[in-house]
Structure 1
């Protein structure tokens, strides 16, 4: 499990694959100076509710991956997450869609 640390006060676990996709979407938004909400459904062990945080270029955020290898990136998931991030509701974490057979995956090296 990777970790997303928000404002040095909140640490949230996400699997490395999910975290890699969030890293790309959040990074793109913050590089453009855009602030937005990010929401996800909590793990049942954390109460089974929802959490929403305000992401802003001036609020520190860190992505800590558990594994040493970067996962392949599903372009369809990036597109769906980015569409969500650009909506009035902000970025909503959603399940990964199947990769279209013709596009495959994209390798991202950090």
Structure 2
């Protein structure tokens, strides 16, 4: 499980490494182009929170931390779906799909976003 650190002193968002690699590719591409968007997630492990959202902007500190040092192969189809969602203004990811292959994560994420 990796971590996404966003802003100053905020609690890290725990994300499966494979999903975090896709989010990193999307976020770095969008922010390099000065394109801001929202990133939302639902995490069933915390029943007090329904869904969380952050506004991703290039002026806010951002750090990706992976448990694995190995490179993660990106699923271009899933990355394309994330990019299309970001172009519409926001991305919703499923943090509880930690043991699923990326195709299953993509399917669940897209179903929830629709």
CA distance in 1, matches of 2:38, 2:7: 14
Cα deviation, residue 56, structure 1: 0.4
SS at match of 2:54: strand
- The answer to whether the Cα contact below 8 Å between 1:85 and 1:92 also exists between their aligned partners in 2 is no
**1:49-68 maps to which residues of 2 (within 5 A)?**
49-68=50-69
| Structure 2 gap segments, 5+ residues each | 105-114
CA distance in 1, matches of 2:11, 2:39: 13
SS at match of 1:72: coil
> Considering only CA atoms, is the larger Rg found in Structure 1 or Structure 2?
1
Cα deviation, residue 50, structure 1: 0.8
The two structures have a TM-score, normalised by structure 2, of: 0.77
Q: Which has the higher helix share?
A: 2
Q: Which has the higher strand share?
A: 1
SS at match of 2:74: strand
CA distance in 1, matches of 2:28, 2:11: 18
Cα deviation, residue 41, structure 1: 1.3
Q: Deviations over 1:35-89 (max 9, x none)?
A: 11111112x221251111011000011000000101111001100000001103x
| Structure 1 gap segments, 5+ residues each | 99-110
CA distance in 2, matches of 1:32, 1:78: 16
CA distance in 1, matches of 2:83, 2:65: 21
CA-atom RMSD, angstroms?
1.6
